[in-house]
Amino acid sequence: MTERRGAIEVLVVEEHRIARAGLRLLLETDGDVVVVGEAARGEQALVGARTLLPDVVLLDDRVPGYGALQLARMIGGLPQVGVLLLTGSVDASEARAAVRAGVDGLLLRDGEPLDVVRAVRAVATGGAFLAPPFTGHLVAALEPRHLGETPPMLQELTTREREVMALLAYGWSNPQIASRLDLSAATVKTHIARALAKLGVSDRARLTALAYESGLIAAGDTGD
């Protein structure tokens, strides 16, 4: 496949050839995504990720050779490579384990096909993507907590940084957060960067998961 200037590069990791072909066709339909490699086993996926350094690795959690989460940890350590996990489970504990392992997005195997493209684009630009069932399960598993209370693990954050973190976890974009809090987009980015540094996490998906796990967000709330 000839590389296209400006295209989002994806490595597809799926055991079955027909499924890989279907994912390639789905991803490349709109022209701004290119599948630069395919892998049927975990070992191949790791070599491909290290060699190609794609923007996103689309990883089926049933791929043989390595456990999916072990593979996600290894690939997630590569610079500028996002990991998008395709799974059939909506179990909350498994979702939290996946995010802790370095997964930037979670997709349901029987979800909406267009969500695959949306998720790839989100992860490729440094964002995160959680299919609705995952968000619902993660939030429902927490005790309600008002934003005015500071969870112990977030004590180092300023009030503004916690506000930005909460809205980010609700799924708000940077421009939406900026408008809600009357801030510039650059200031929102700065608050996110500082929260990442203070909490020792590397991306927005992990920051979102930590907002859920710490109880920063009230269960069932939407941030409105």
Alpha-carbon torsion, ordered 80, 109, 72, 46, to 10 deg: -80
Express each pLDDT in 43-61 by its tens digit: 999 999 999 999 999 999 9
Which pLDDT does position 3 carry in this prediction? 41
Express each pLDDT in 16-40 by its tens digit: 999 999 999 999 987 899 999 999 9
12 and 95 part of one domain: yes
CATH number at residue 190: 1.10.10.10
Q: Whole-number mean pLDDT of the chain?
A: 82
Which pLDDT does position 83 carry in this prediction? 93
Query: Who wins on pLDDT, 75 or 94?
Result: 75
Last residue of a domain, one of 131, 159, 194: 131
Letter for the amino acid at 69?
L
Cα dihedral 105, 111, 113, 115 sign: negative
Residue pointed to by tokens 């384990």: 97
**Structural domain count, the chain:** 2
DSSP 154: G
